[in-house]
Amino acid sequence: MQAAGERFRPGDVVVRREILRGEVWFACPTICVEDSPDLLALYLPSGAEFGFPEEGSFPCGRHPWHVAGQRAWTGHGKLMLQRPGEAHSVDVFWSGPQRDFAGWYFNLQDPLRRTPIGVDTLDHELDLWWAADADRYVFKDVEIFAQRLVEGRYPGMGEAIRAEGDRIAALLDAGQRWWDESWASWRPDPTWQTPSLPAGWSSVPC
């Protein structure tokens, strides 16, 4: 457990949970890369287990990965770059046997809230993807996001989520880069072990 106000150290396990309508909906263990006043960088390695709570009302249904039978992260790990108070992360992806940089993924989500074991958020489904070999970004999951609004997953948040996507697009169109692009060549510490979820991860207050 982390004491109030204490920062994570490189190599610490940080539990990233998704909270839907006040309930823990999903969790995964990540590894702290950097925790500074301006940036929290978390690494989700291949093989990191997914956690789905056994108890809850789940008014919008179980997490899609739970329904699909996905139990762990596969492929290359991904790096998630998150600034305090922002409603998105900049995720870094790699591909192929040489672990080549694949692109930037702008993941819309609730601003992070710290807990004694990690951080809480909620993925907003709508995202932007800028592949390494592309001239421009594309929006992703627009139709799925619209369906999630109909299902009531983000009550009263639809316009704000769309506005955040448009804000990111405008910044990219203006040539602004608010993250350090050298993260594209980052590599994880080879001594890091695949993290596990700690006991009681779903019972820590949101």
In our burial notation (b when 16+ CB lie closer than 10 A, e otherwise), range 164-196 reads bbeebeeebeeeeeebeeebbeeeeeeeeeebe
- Name the pLDDT band for 176 (thresholds 50, 70, 90): very high
Residue 3 has pLDDT above 80, yes or no: no
Q: Report the C-alpha gap between 76 and 52 in whole angstroms.
A: 22
Q: Report the C-alpha gap between 28 and 136 in whole angstroms.
A: 31
Please, what is the average pLDDT of the chain?
Answer: 96
Q: Report the C-alpha gap between 107 and 90 in whole angstroms.
A: 6
Residue 79 has pLDDT above 90, yes or no: yes
Instruction: Give SS3 for 140.
Output: strand
Q: Which amino acid is at 10?
A: P
- Name the pLDDT band for 26 (thresholds 50, 70, 90): very high
Domain map (residue ranges) of the chain: 13-175
Q: Report the C-alpha gap between 204 and 170 in whole angstroms.
A: 38
- The 10s digit of each residue's pLDDT in 179-204 is 999 999 999 999 999 999 999 999 99
* CATH superfamily of the 13-175 domain: FomD-like (2.40.380.10)
Q: Report the C-alpha gap between 112 and 86 in whole angstroms.
A: 8
Residue 2 has pLDDT above 90, yes or no: no
Residues contacting residue 179 through CB under 8 Å, at least 6 positions apart = 81, 90, 104
**So what's the pLDDT on residue 15?**
98
- Name the pLDDT band for 65 (thresholds 50, 70, 90): very high
- Give mean pLDDT, residues 53-64: 91
78 is an active site residue: no
- Give mean pLDDT, residues 115-136: 97
Residue 49 has pLDDT above 70, yes or no: yes
More confident residue, 17 or 1: 17
**So what's the pLDDT on residue 59?**
87
Q: Report the C-alpha gap between 105 and 165 in whole angstroms.
A: 12
Share of the chain above pLDDT 70, in %: 98
Residue 121 has pLDDT above 70, yes or no: yes
Exactly one of 62, 83, 140, 162 is catalytic; which is it? 140
